[in-house]
Amino acid sequence: MLTLGPDERAALWRRTVTTPSHDRAAMLCILGRLMQEALGSRYPVYRGLDQRFERSLALLDRAGLLGRSELQNAFERLDGDEGPDLESDAPSLVSALAATLEEAGGEAGLSRGESREAVALAGAWRGHLRDGRWFAVPEVASVAEVAAHGGVAESVVLEWCRSGRVSCERRGGQIMIPTDQFDWEPRRLGPSKPPG
């Protein structure tokens, strides 16, 4: 992963916005991938969404809205490390993307299909915020937390532990389960490793 500081991200954003439009596609790909990597490094739900980020940026560019200061500022503040600011900066960037895409849906510079796509992408990004999907994945979780997050009974989680399907350990009298053995996404939780 390429890690850029705020000044380098600002320079990259300015360079992208000022690059002639016929040469801008590659720069938009780089911006999209950097956004996805920064968010995906902390929030697994954003992993693999580089094309969604790239398409969002391309539509904003076609609508003439890529130069918006809210977007640039949110991108500059974005920290791919596990620093404390990412908790607020991640939703700030996603919120700025959604709001600007929604506005792009009404711009004359987009075709009817592109306008619909911009509005749909805005809705998808807002869904991430509404569902709280920008959360950080904890290293370990209690039986109750795993059960609540996955929508299963605590007895099911305990059975996974007893059978060896998932690893667990006692900490201070409580059973704790490392989360790296799960697909830790909302409403989709289960051991990611086959029993064995």
Claim to verify: residue 106 and residue 36 sit in the same structural domain? yes
**Alpha carbon separation from 1 to 30, 38, 167 (Å, rounded):** 12, 8, 29
Of 130, 149, 167, the residue that ends a domain is 130
Cβ atoms of 28 and 60 closer than 8 Å: no
pLDDT of residue 79: 60
Report the predicted TM-score, pTM, of the whole model to 2 decimal places: 0.63
Torsion of CA 58, 60, 62, 67, to 10 degrees: -110
Same domain, 151 and 118: no
Verify that 150 and 106 share a domain, yes or no: no
Residue-wise pLDDT tens for the chain (196 aa)?
Answer: 567 777 888 888 889 888 888 888 888 988 888 888 877 776 766 777 878 889 999 999 999 998 888 888 888 877 644 444 444 567 778 888 888 998 998 887 899 899 999 989 888 887 776 665 545 566 778 887 777 666 678 888 899 999 999 999 988 888 988 887 876 554 444 444 444 4
If asked whether residues 100 and 151 sit together in one domain, one would say no
177: domain range? 140-181
Task: Count H helices and E strands in the chain, helices first.
Answer: 8, 3
Look at residues 95, 73, 98, 87 and name the one whose alpha carbon lies nearest to residue 39: 87
Task: Judge whether 192 lies within some domain.
Answer: no
The predicted structure's pLDDT at residue 188: 42
CA dist., res. 180 & res. 23, Å (int): 40
pLDDT (0 to 100) of residue 2 = 61
| Counted domains in the chain | 2
CA separation for the pair 128, 150 (Å, rounded): 17
Kindly state whether residues 13 and 107 are assigned to the same domain.
yes
